Amino acid sequence: MAKKTLNVAMIGGGFMGKAHSNAWLKVNKFFDTDFDINLKVIVGNKTPLEAFAARWGYDEVSYDWREVVRRPDIDIVDIGTPTWEHMEMAVAAAEAGKHIVCEKPCALSYQQCLKMAEAAKKAGVVTYLNHNYRRVPAVAYAKQLVEEGRLGTIYHWRGAYLQDWIMDPDFPLTWHLQSKYAGGGPVFDLSSHAYDLARYLIGDAKAVTAVNKTFITERPLPGAGAATFSAGSKTENAQKAPVDVEDASFAVVEFENGALGSIESTRFAVGCKNYNDFEVYGSKGAIRFNFESMNELWFLDATQPQAEQGFRRILCTEGVHPYVSAWWPGGHIIGYEHTFVNAFYDFLQAIAGKGAPITPDFEDGAAIIRFVEAVQLSSKEQRRVLIEEIK
């Protein structure tokens, strides 16, 4: 029987536009789903996207997302734009009855996320917020170990998401470094991912005590001769503007289940490229993970004889590990892009009404941004903040 075709409108042809387009093209090559996927339209704002459309196989290019999300031939709206635009796009897509994939962080504030969740609930559409690290097989396997009780009572969570890409003081004031577009610095960008993993694996936070820091307080405006990833040359006297987001954050986190933990994030940890790291310590065992070696999970089983205890490296590339049977034989490792494909498979299953509802969704996004706002408030007011204080 012919499968139903779902038409995708991808908004944003940047880093995530590319990662998502790749995942839409791959999902039916590796997984069995109920749907065919058609890349119908790529939506941009100012940068021409005709070459992008040709490369990834989009039928059309548009520069008007408002018109596209209302089109009756669109089934899925995929939002890959900077954070400040997520809410308006997601609410409009939900009101038009579209299923929605949206990039993280969910939105600029807890209140914005609640509006997104409410609109999606009212419309009865499936939403997926792309905290993609949940869909690393090693992380999904860690979840299994926690759920099976192999770690016992959880005492500690240590999450550290470290990068180094803006250490050059001449790196320009792109949207990532302006709170009106990004919400904040690494707390929105990276701690949101780290806290998503903490919630996924051990549960919600109750309170947080945080200190944020901005090291470089003014930067060149983009296009003012500033150094960028690709253009290393610098111009003297480039016009500068103040930075209003943090460069780094350390947070002590008290969890509802009684665990005590930490979540740190920075863009100033030299040598750390995408160092998304966590450790969980429980009464019966412990796990460690670092995305820079994403196929590996380290596990210590404290129920084994003491003389034999030690962290074992589990290469999570066997067919018995989550998602892996769709990919390669054991030992043939996977990468960043596979997490997006795994996620889109789960998203299509959710649309088909198969399996558990997909998470994280916009309600999870609201819980995450509530935590993020609590971190910001704690640092600003130099005090412990209860998550429930964020309204």
In the complex, the residues that contact ligand NAD under the rule CB under 6 A are 11-16, 43-45, 47, 65, 80-83, 85, 103-104, 130, 132, 189
Q: Considering the complex, state which of residue 66 and residue 234 has its C-beta at the smaller distance from ligand NAD.
A: 66
Q: Which residue is nearest to ligand NAD (CB)?
A: 14
Give min distance, CB of 368 to ligand NAD, in A.
Answer: 12
- The helix (run of H) or strand (run of E) holding residue 66 is helix 65-69
Tokens of 208: 């947080």
Q: Considering the complex, state which of residue 16 and residue 202 has its C-beta at the smaller distance from ligand NAD.
A: 16
Q: Considering the complex, state which of residue 151 and residue 162 has its C-beta at the smaller distance from ligand NAD.
A: 162
Give min distance, CB of 163 to ligand NAD, in A.
Answer: 11
Q: Considering the complex, state which of residue 286 and residue 346 has its C-beta at the smaller distance from ligand NAD.
A: 346
Q: Considering the complex, state which of residue 33 and residue 83 has its C-beta at the smaller distance from ligand NAD.
A: 83
User: 390: helix, coil or strand?
Assistant: coil
Give min distance, CB of 88 to ligand NAD, in A.
Answer: 9
Q: Considering the complex, state which of residue 189 and residue 264 has its C-beta at the smaller distance from ligand NAD.
A: 189
CA-nearest of 353, 388, 384, 355 to 370 is 388
The residues facing 158 across adjacent strands are: 262, 279
Written as one letter, the residue type at 264 is E
Q: Considering the complex, state which of residue 128 and residue 255 has its C-beta at the smaller distance from ligand NAD.
A: 128
Torsion sign across C-alpha atoms 275, 276, 280, 286: negative
Tokens of 182: 């990004």
Tokens of 6: 């779902």
CA distance 181 to 298: 37
Give min distance, CB of 138 to ligand NAD, in A.
Answer: 16
Q: Considering the complex, state which of residue 21 and residue 262 has its C-beta at the smaller distance from ligand NAD.
A: 21
Give min distance, CB of 86 to ligand NAD, in A.
Answer: 7
Give min distance, CB of 295 to ligand NAD, in A.
Answer: 17
Q: Considering the complex, state which of residue 87 and residue 326 has its C-beta at the smaller distance from ligand NAD.
A: 87
Give min distance, CB of 73 to ligand NAD, in A.
Answer: 19
What's phi and psi for 43, nearest 5 deg?
Answer: -115, 125
Q: Considering the complex, state which of residue 54 and residue 260 has its C-beta at the smaller distance from ligand NAD.
A: 54
Give min distance, CB of 109 to ligand NAD, in A.
Answer: 14
CA distance 187 to 280: 21
Give min distance, CB of 16 to ligand NAD, in A.
Answer: 3
Give min distance, CB of 390 to ligand NAD, in A.
Answer: 20
User: 266: helix, coil or strand?
Assistant: strand
Q: In angstroms, how far is CA 329 from the centroid of its own chain? A: 27
CA distance readout (Å), 204 to 46, 200, 299, 344, 386: 40, 8, 23, 25, 12
E-state strands within 168-311: 205-213, 218-220, 240-242, 248-255, 260-266, 275-282, 285-290, 296-301
CA-nearest of 98, 43, 109, 99 to 71 is 98
CA-nearest of 366, 265, 337 to 22 is 337
- In order, the DSSP letters of 312-359 are EEEE--STTSTTGGGS-STT----HHHHHHHHHHHHHHHHTT-SSPPS
Written as one letter, the residue type at 226 is A
